[in-house]
Amino acid sequence: MLESTILISTDKSLLDVDTIHAFLSTCYWSPGIVRSRVERAIKNSMCFAIYDTGTQQDAGPRQVGFARVITDKATYGYIADVFVLEDYRGRGLSKRLMKAIVEHPELQGMRRLCLMTRDAHGLYAQFGFAAMPEPGRYMEVLDRESYKRE
């Protein structure tokens, strides 16, 4: 994979929903998520995808990473579903993806940009993310089985 064969795009028409669903349905944060839920999440989010344009010449570029931002594009954004396929890890692609997100013109000047992670604190810290200073203010309704339903 050459540097010039990587493309990061926000064009939803290029997304490989099969790849996105396959990854998300087996990862720790959304095990068993149904495809219709993934499609609805994509439809209602700002999506970023990483493509290897040097592969699958006949089929077009191969999607190798993804992230989405749930946002009003004015005050708040939540980064979700960030991944790079295993075969492409260790090449700096997650850093390039996060850089594309935090530098995107439509995401500038917001009061708060958030995310949750179990194991990638080092990556996100490079882009200014830190633990919430007052986690007691954060509240949620959590339904761990919701992803398995339409």
Rounded to whole angstroms, the Cα distance separating 25 from 21 reads 6
Can you point out the beta strands (E) in 2-102? 6-9, 46-52, 62-71, 76-84
pLDDT tens-digit readout, 6-52: 999 999 999 999 999 999 999 999 999 999 999 999 999 999 999 99
Structural domain boundaries, residue 37 = 3-148
Instruction: Please provide the DSSP assignment of 89-132 as one string.
Output: TTSSHHHHHHHHHHT-GGGTT-SEEEE--SS-HHHHHTTT----
The enclosing domain of 97 has a CATH number of 3.40.630.30
pLDDT of residue 61: 87
Least confident of 1-5, 63-67, 109-113: 1-5
pLDDT of residue 58: 62
Structure tokens at 85: 């396929």
Rounded to whole angstroms, the Cα distance separating 13 from 94 reads 21
pLDDT tens-digit readout, 73-90: 999 999 999 999 999 999
- In whole numbers, what is the pLDDT of the chain averaged over residues? 92
Q: How many domains does the chain have?
A: 1
pLDDT of residue 30: 93
Q: Answer whether 0.75 is exceeded by the pTM.
A: yes
Rounded to whole angstroms, the Cα distance separating 118 from 131 reads 12
Q: Which residues of 25-52 are buried (b: 16+ CB within 10 A; e: fewer)?
A: beeeebeebbeebbeebbeebbbbbbbb
Task: Indicate the pLDDT class of residue 148, thresholds 50, 70 and 90.
Answer: confident
Burial of 85 (0-12, 13-18, 19+ CB in 10 A): middle
Least confident of 50-54, 64-68, 105-109, 124-128: 50-54
